[in-house]
Amino acid sequence: MMRKILAWKLIVLSVVFLILSVVGIVAALALNEPLTREGVARLDEVESELRLGEAALDKSHAQIERALGILDSTEAAFNQFTEDDPRAFFADVQTTLNDNLLPELETAQERLITARDTLENLRLLVFGINVAPFVSVNISDEMLTDLIDSADALESQITDVGKLAEQASVLLEDASQLFGGDLDESRASLEGFLADVEEYQAKVKGWREQVENIKNSLPVWMDFATIFLTLFLIWFGLSQVSLFLHGRAILRGENPWEGLRALFLIRERRKG
């Protein structure tokens, strides 16, 4: 009973594995070309992305070189300008603005306010005199009003000029600090960034070459893998045929190892 169960197990397993081997061979042969096309398509996508990345790096490289060129021109202009001690020039102008112009503007504004008040009082005085009977001052109220309005407008303009002078003073202070510094740190940063971009350009170029080599070699690798898998499945299928025959022999009551044992005995006799 146990021999029959073992025999049927061997037969069923051998048939199942034989069918799987045949299916595997057919699948390997059928899927070889589609898988190769799919792999090449994926590699084309990777190469396209790398090409876009390389183009972006090239553009960045050109922009950095352009920035360095602008920096060189700016530095040359700074060097030429600093030969005449620009910080001293800016300091003199700033001192003139702060110590001379702004105080004078404030003084002029105060005097205009005083003059406007005087004109206002004069207008009221003339109005009061003209109200009295038989007394007339030949100064028109319209003329005094125009003078007062002109004084107000001039005061407003002086205030605006004072604000502009203060802004100019701040601007000159910033310019003085700028011309007093150097551009070495900015240059070092740009040159370091440029070196990094060039390094990545070389890496991306190497990656593209690797992808191209893989894409060219992929069909050969797929064919080799298909041939190897097919040969393995053929060998595996043939071994299942042998296993099937062993199961059949056990069902018939035969000893499947008897032939192998007889073969060993014959070899032993020949050696003896």
pLDDT band at 235 (very low <50, low <70, confident <90, very high): confident
Mean pLDDT computed over every residue of the chain: 70
The pLDDT score that the predictor gives to residue 176 is 53
Domain boundaries, the chain: 2-271
Q: Report the Cα 109 to chain-centroid distance in Å.
A: 56
pLDDT value, residue 190 = 75
Q: Residue 96's pLDDT is what?
A: 61
Amino acid present at 136 = S
Q: How far apart, in whole angstroms, are the C-alpha atoms of residue 186 and residue 192? A: 10
Copy the structure tokens of residue 34: 């589609």
Q: Is the pLDDT of residue 87 over 60?
A: no
Give the mean model confidence (pLDDT) for residues 79-106: 59
pLDDT for the residue 215: 81
Number of residues in the chain: 272
Name the range with the highest mean pLDDT among 4-8, 116-120, 233-237: 233-237
Q: What is the mean pLDDT of residues 204-222?
A: 83
Region 155-173: mean pLDDT is: 64
Closest CA to 146 of 135, 138, 154: 154
Using DSSP, state whether 137 is helix, strand or coil.
coil
pLDDT at 63: 82
The answer to whether 54 and 202 have CB atoms below 8 angstroms apart is: no
CA distances from 15 to 18, 238, 246, 261 (A): 5, 11, 12, 26
Residue 247 has pLDDT above 50, yes or no: yes
In this prediction the pTM is: 0.47
User: What pLDDT shows up at residue 122?
Assistant: 60
Stretch 206-215: mean pLDDT: 83
Q: Stretch 7-26: mean pLDDT, rounded?
A: 78
Return phi, psi of residue 252, to 5°. -80, 0
